[in-house]
Amino acid sequence: MGRVKFGQLPMLLRVVVGIALFNMWVSFEEFVVNRSDLWQYMPGYKRDQGCIWDLSVGMLIVAGLVWASIRGSRAQPGETLS
């Protein structure tokens, strides 16, 4: 049995990974950014609301997961897909 690549995982599992990563960002916002007043140095940041930072992180997560899915689903030279 070979190694399973990210692109070979079911779509539901890939979506759950994205949700978990975004949840990590929201937790980081709550426990680090808001409580240590770092939000004052982040342009466009709105406390306790959705903001451009949340949208940017969400887009980065989606782009990263799409890239990992495309990269992980291609067969390498000499590799057989069964």
Q: How many other CB atoms are found less than 10 A from the CB of residue 29? A: 21
pLDDT of residue 2: 83
Q: What's the domain count of the chain?
A: 1
Is position 80 within any domain?
no
Give me the helices (H) in 7-51, please. 11-28
Is position 4 within any domain?
no
pLDDT tens for the chain, 82 residues long, are 788 888 888 999 999 999 999 999 999 999 999 999 888 999 988 888 888 999 999 999 999 999 999 986 665 655 555 5
pLDDT of residue 19: 97
Is position 63 within any domain?
yes
> What pTM, to 2 d.p., does this model score?
0.79
Is position 36 within any domain?
yes
The DSSP 8-state label assigned to residue 46 in this structure reads: -
pLDDT of residue 25: 95
Q: Which domain holds residue 49?
A: 10-72
pLDDT of residue 48: 81
pLDDT of residue 16: 97
